[in-house]
Structure 1
Amino acid sequence: MSPRAGLDTHTLVLAAAELADEQGIAEVTLAGLAAKLGVRSPSLYNHVNGLKELRTLLAIHGLEQLQTAMEASIVGISGDAAVHAMSRAYVEFARQHPGLYETTLRAPEEGNTSLEEAGGQILSLIINVLAGYELGEEGGLHAVRGLRSILHGFASLKNQGGFGMPLDLEVSLTRLIKTFIAGIRCMRSGEESGKE
């Protein structure tokens, strides 16, 4: 096979994202990607330095796409409405892009500034949405961790078919986020009990 015209790093990342969503992140290999693109595996090394770099680029792409979806969901709104909208966007992104979503979950390796920046952008977005609750810097970070845990757990269970009861999942998510908001309001008012 001859190298395909127009092949570049961006094309590789987009094809790898499709492969991840279709077959799972474990199936994103250089051989699998080459087969998808109709090229020989060695030609991929003209654009990436192996599987590790490809997966890092894929994680950056996933974080950027997740951020875009979350930002779009909160245009023109704030407060509780923004937390609900952002949460729905997060869960929907995970549903539409299960493999790509999985790449967004790992903590950035130290020294990878591009991956750190992409993760930092999402962190900043969530912090800004929660800023109106006046939790302080440390409290805000605890709230971000809590919301991320809630959304990841909900999205993962939903994607894996873990919600078998005939109840509306949108209602469940809405109630869950309302409970989270009530909880962070307690943090702000000093009603939080217990120390780590």
Structure 2
Amino acid sequence: MARAGLTTERLAQAGAELADEVGFDKVTVPALARRFDVTTASLYSHIKSSQDLKAKIALLALEELADRVAAALAGRAGKDALTAFANAYRDYAREHPGRYAAAQLRLDPETAAASAGGRHAQMTRAILRGYDLTEPDRTHAVRMLGSIFHGYVSLEMAGGFSHSAPDSQETWSWILDSLDAQLRNWPRS
């Protein structure tokens, strides 16, 4: 019988905390069981496998990140919205590196469709309304922003910018200014 007080939600939250501490790749059901001082078998009434645990952490991370970005975007448009979105994304990754890694997990189509991933795309498209892009340019721009934000954050978190000038924050601001200029001057198809 499962230990009282353990729920799928509590285990996903603890798994997310563990991911931030030791890295998402090191999160397993046995590691989570040790955290609660229970047997691994006692968790299987809530979690099917380590992969299921990782998917639950990914869903939690996607939801948290979407909530944070939505709060940052409230009442903003144009460059202010672009900057708020980008900074919320970057700040979340820096504060929660394991959860950020979890948010990149490839989910099966059904799980992905039910996740907050769709909210991320909708919010990115909302930013782009301020730049008057039409399809297929809007889709290209969504992909460009996602690639740049993820690429920069991943390289920064890996220490890729810590050994040279200028400061990483200066480059981040320069990138956001450049993206704003690119979006305002998007070549029309």
Normalising by structure 1, we get a TM-score of: 0.89
What is the number of residues matched between the two proteins? 188
1:158 alignment partner, SS class: helix
Report the counterpart of residue 98 of structure 2 in structure 1: 99
Contact 2:2 2:43 (C-alpha < 8 Å) held by counterparts? no
Unaligned runs of 5+ in 1: none
Matched to 2:42, the amino acid is: S
Distance 2:133 2:105 in 1: 26
1:167 alignment partner, SS class: coil
Matched to 2:110, the amino acid is: G
Question: For residues 58-94 of structure 1, what are the alpha-carbon distances to aligned partners after superposition, in whole Å with 9 as ceiling and x for unaligned?
Answer: 1111101111111121222211011011101111111
Matched to 1:40, the amino acid is: T
Report the counterpart of residue 53 of structure 1 in structure 2: 52
Distance 1:5 1:116 in 2: 29
Alignment of 1:81-96 (within 5 A): 81-96=80-95
Report the counterpart of residue 110 of structure 1 in structure 2: 109
Question: For residues 172-192 of structure 1, what are the alpha-carbon distances to aligned partners after superposition, in whole Å with 9 as ceiling and x for unaligned?
Answer: 1111011112112232x52x7
Shift of 1:169: 2.2
Contact 2:94 2:157 (C-alpha < 8 Å) held by counterparts? yes
Matched to 1:97, the amino acid is: H
Distance 2:106 2:181 in 1: 28
Report the counterpart of residue 162 of structure 1 in structure 2: 160
Distance 1:98 1:21 in 2: 5
Distance 2:81 2:69 in 1: 10
Distance 1:98 1:17 in 2: 10
Matched to 2:80, the amino acid is: A
Contact 2:29 2:43 (C-alpha < 8 Å) held by counterparts? yes
Report the counterpart of residue 175 of structure 1 in structure 2: 174
Question: For residues 105-131 of structure 1, what are the alpha-carbon distances to aligned partners after superposition, in whole Å with 9 as ceiling and x for unaligned?
Answer: 234322225x54321111111111111
Distance 1:117 1:56 in 2: 10
Unaligned runs of 5+ in 2: none
User: In structure 2, which of residues 147, 150, 157 is the aligned counterpart of residue 149 of structure 1?
Assistant: 147
Report the counterpart of residue 121 of structure 2 in structure 1: 123
Contact 1:108 1:119 (C-alpha < 8 Å) held by counterparts? no
Shift of 1:3: 5.1
The worse-fitting range, judged by mean Cα deviation, of 120-129 and 159-168 is 159-168
1:125 alignment partner, SS class: helix
Contact 2:55 2:105 (C-alpha < 8 Å) held by counterparts? no
Report the counterpart of residue 136 of structure 2 in structure 1: 138
Contact 1:15 1:37 (C-alpha < 8 Å) held by counterparts? no
Distance 1:107 1:80 in 2: 30
Report the counterpart of residue 40 of structure 1 in structure 2: 39
